[in-house]
Amino acid sequence: TARKRVAVLGSTGSIGVSTLDVARHLPDRLEVVGLAAHTNAAQLAEQCRAFRPRYAVLCDPAAFTAAVRSDFPRETELLGGPDGVAKLATAADVDVVVSAVVGAAGLHGTWAALDAGKDVALANKETLVVAGPLVTELAARRGARLLPVDSEHSAVFQALTGYTAADVTRVVLTGSGGPFRGKTAAELEAATPAQALRHPTWKMGPKITIDSATLMNKALEVIEARWLFDLRPEQIDVIVHPESIVHSFVEFADGSVLGQLSPPDMRLPIQFALLYPDRVPGPAKRLDWKALSGLRFEPPDRTTFRALDLGFEVAARGGTTGAVLNAANEVAVGRFLAGTLPFLGIAACCRAVLDAHDFDAAPPLDRLLALDRWARAEAARWQG
Ligand code: NDP
Ligand code: MG
């Protein structure tokens, strides 16, 4: 088999680093041809010295200007800004683009890659939350595949192999419940960033870790599943599973339910997306069947964790709601981490910004980007 030529957008993040670990373990299957970071030039340069890619990108123009060329290998072309990202994502010698930037900022590179007909291994769920119908339509039109990296969606994708949406009655997304599972709203009033950043089962970047504590992550994943698998919103359900071993369930028309099990380790879904449909030994932790016992499942607490209902609402309403919810949440999470918004204020702020926006059922991309900016400004000054 020919090696797949991989570009990683967001290589210095949690998913980016795990992707490079997969590539390091599978050198005869994967070739790293490009890496992109935002501002972390030192780590990007170190990754380039290890993988010797053809392209390296610093998305932030100031970081690009300040970068020391001699830190990078001679054969690596150093690019800057959004144009650099687009150049990497569309390069002729790239087969698959790993979309692992955090937030709506990931839409640009994902869009460029799909528009060029590249397969995208998608970690950046925000892309589908903001512009699900436009992104999936673009992929279909260009004959590009969207391969899920998010563990729940990878589980669904794996269970669906050989079937279509028409065979499926229900998809049940599992979630750990986060660090605040079992807590009441009263108990969460004074929740701190340090407490919220202590995730019980996954080690991830700060934004998605806070999203996991509010259950906004599961909300975004409901929307992601809706677009990725062309499901009706009422076919999607969420169940709390504290061990993070079962990564989701698919229930078929005949009543059979398939789940995918593995320890919580993103290297497995990343590898599956990159090598699909092949399965080969890789670096991901393996399930220890002898130690396996007591998998628990319980309904989510939608009263305390208000964000979850927002996800179902946005999945059902579509239109401009996803872009607005996502932007408000990004800003609210930033404010919570900065200490200017209480924990429960995150969902409340999102609710308020969503309710205040000018709804449009079929917005074009530029309208979504304008609403993204509007919602960020609203969330930045929201006071409850
Ligand atoms: P991190 O915060 O760890 O990494 C983010 C990456 O994106 C970094 O490489 C960062 O560069 C880059 N970046 C940040 N802002 C920008 C920007 N404005 N423009 C371009 N690049 C930018 O995030 P994660 O790896 O945790 O998450 C990445 C995505 O994957 C998110 O969408 C998340 O929801 C999704 N995901 C993550 C999982 C996980 O286990 N971490 C699991 C499932 C999904 P720099 O380092 O230079 O700042
Ligand atoms: Mg997930």
CA of 15 to the centre of ligand 1 (A): 7
How much is the pLDDT for 358?
97
Model confidence at 70, in pLDDT bands (50, 70, 90)? Answer: very high
Ligand nearest to the CA of 215: 2
Q: Is 373 helix (H, G, I), strand (E, B) or coil?
A: helix
Determine if residue 244 is left, alpha or beta; phi over 0 gives left, psi from -120 to 50 gives alpha, anything else beta.
Answer: left
- What's the pLDDT tens digit per position in 114-171? 999 999 999 999 999 999 999 999 999 999 999 999 999 999 999 999 998 889 999 9
ipTM: 0.99
- Report whether pLDDT(315) > 90: yes
**Ligand 1 pocket list (CB less than 6 A):** 10-16, 37-40, 59, 100-102, 105, 123-126, 150, 202, 204-205, 207-208, 266
Is 256 annotated in some ligand binding site? no
Is 126 annotated in some ligand binding site? yes
- What's the pLDDT tens digit per position in 199-256? 999 999 999 999 999 999 999 999 999 999 999 999 999 999 999 999 999 999 999 9
d(CA 291, CA 297): 18
- Report whether pLDDT(1) > 80: no
Ligand nearest to the CA of 219: 2
